[in-house]
Amino acid sequence: MEIRKLNFKKNSVRALGDKTLQQALHYTTERFTSARERAKREFGELDNLREKAREIKRRTIENLDDYLEILEENVCKAGGKVYWAEDAKGAVDTVLDIARKNRVKLVVKSKSMATEEIELNRAIEGEGIDVVETDLGEYIIQLANERPSHIIAPAIHKTKDEIARLFSEKLKIPYYKEPELLVGAIRERLRATFLRADMGVTGVNFAVAETGTIIIVENEGNARFVTTVPRVHVAIMGIEKVIPSFKDAAVFLSILARSATGQKMSSYVSFITGPRRNGEIDGPEQFHLIIMDNGRTRVLGSEETRETLYCIRCGACLNACPVYRKAGGHSYGWVYSGPIGAILTPQLIGMDRALELPFASTLCGACREVCPVKINIPKILIGLRRRAVENGFHKNVKEHLAMRIWRFVVSHTGVYDILTSLLYVLQHPFKSDGKLRSLPLFSQWTRYRDLPVLKIPFRKRWKRLTVNRGPRG
Ligand code: SF4
């Protein structure tokens, strides 16, 4: 699969100029952030559980091979089939093979970042098989032929009006202003689609090794339809989704929804152990689980960045990140966005293609503060930046020169004094309301941010103070 070089800077400049997008981003990230804050206030256990969750992830990732083998054994015992996919092609080929063998004509899907990662829809359509996303957000972006812009809310970049126009243009349904009418019309269409589908494809939130159970968390009930109505169910998971036991699942289920949307629990939590058994009235005839690497063992192999694999895809770090909140998900250029995208993408698709992402951060630490498994994202970002420089990917001549000049200036007191005094005088034409505006060479910077005016240099002020007070003692 060809992945073009991502272009964060160019994309984010475009996003900053898009007023509608800025409003949509502000509204949604604020809503999620305050909901999480409220959940944290009401549920005093959150911080304790975050610690526990981190420890479970640490233990599991350190013994990943063992837990994956136990998972495989128990899925097979429950009547399911397990496949190992080394890369995206392996995973896609396995899905297509299952579809061909079962003469599948229509696939329904529930939201899954793993299937976005391998561009499964495109491959299924290439086989002449219809595929329909059934999560409302994913349905919208499938119609718009776009990528998700948020891990849990894929269409947050679209306004109500844009969605209503999209539906009426692509589905030939009336233009509804009221979201309830719009959702009602889509629900009717999707119900009919579910009933015709031969195969359901889902992701996996957690896979419990001790029982071979996969857990799917959602709010719309569509994943439950996807996993019960069609005769074949294919679930695709990254190797990091395995957890040892049901006791551990309880910890993650307590923190996932609270971190993601501020809910105590997601509306639907499905536990699926193998296909339909004798005597059961619903469920698929076949259950297939694809366990995918696709670059994850490279992450596992690095002690410095391994904890990237602890991620449970809650999206809290996106909502808290000042860069994501302005740049939006599409600026990151691939499937994963925000702070987790900035550390995961370069490790999965290569630093040469995602070079800008580790640098797309202020290192403020807000992501680490909210992460339910306490991933030290800022530390990983710095490590990746170091790797980029050491491997010769990051050669910013201007930045390098500026840093050398800065080092020279701050290590020579006389030069520092002269320069700060000079800048103090030179800044006057650009001063306005205590801020510097339209600075030559920095116009891009000052267009979006406030740069405070330089005050009288500290050394000068100190000198004046000591002269006015006279000698001590
Ligand atoms: S890095 Fe942490 S906060 Fe971000 S999506 Fe993953 S689990 Fe959630």
Q: How confident is the model at residue 79 (pLDDT cuts 50, 70, 90)?
A: very high
Among protein residues, the one whose CA lies closest to atom 4 of ligand 1: 317
Q: What digits encode the pLDDT tens for the residues 34-52?
A: 999 999 999 989 999 999 9
- pLDDT at position 72 is 98
Quick one: 139 exposed, middle or buried, by C-beta within 10 A (0-12, 13-18, 19+)?
Answer: buried
Q: What digits encode the pLDDT tens for the residues 105-127?
A: 999 999 999 999 999 999 999 99
Percent of the chain beyond pLDDT 90? 78
- Span from the CA of 460 to the centroid of ligand 1 (angstroms): 47
| Residue 217 in contact with ligand 1 by CB distance below 6 A | no
Whether residue 66 has pLDDT greater than 60? yes
Question: Distance between CA atoms of 415 and 46, rounded to whole angstroms?
Answer: 52
Among protein residues, the one whose CA lies closest to atom 2 of ligand 1: 371
Residue with tokens 């992945």: 3
- pLDDT at position 394 is 75
Question: Which atom of ligand 1 is found nearest the CA of 370?
Answer: 3
Among protein residues, the one whose CA lies closest to atom 8 of ligand 1: 314
Mean pLDDT along residues 413-442: 85
Q: How confident is the model at residue 471 (pLDDT cuts 50, 70, 90)?
A: low
Question: Which atom of ligand 1 is found nearest the CA of 318?
Answer: 4
| Residue 378 in contact with ligand 1 by CB distance below 6 A | no
Classify domain 43-294 at the CATH class level: alpha beta
- Mean predicted lDDT score pLDDT of the chain: 93
Q: What digits encode the pLDDT tens for the residues 338-348?
A: 999 999 999 99
**Residue 189: phi, psi to the nearest 5?**
-60, -45
Whether the CA torsion 142, 145, 151, 152 is positive or negative: it is negative
pTM of the model: 0.88
- Span from the CA of 426 to the centroid of ligand 1 (angstroms): 45
As a residue count, the chain comes to 473
Structure tokens at 330: 């599409």
Structure tokens at 62: 């350190």
| Residue 343 in contact with ligand 1 by CB distance below 6 A | no
- pLDDT at position 358 is 95
Q: How confident is the model at residue 138 (pLDDT cuts 50, 70, 90)?
A: very high
- Span from the CA of 35 to the centroid of ligand 1 (angstroms): 16
In the chain, CATH 3.40.50.10420 covers 43-294
- pLDDT at position 451 is 84
Displacement of CA 163 from its chain's centroid (Å)? 22
Whether residue 171 has pLDDT greater than 60? yes
Q: Which range (88-97, 408-417, 443-452) has the least confidence?
A: 443-452
| Residue 314 in contact with ligand 1 by CB distance below 6 A | yes
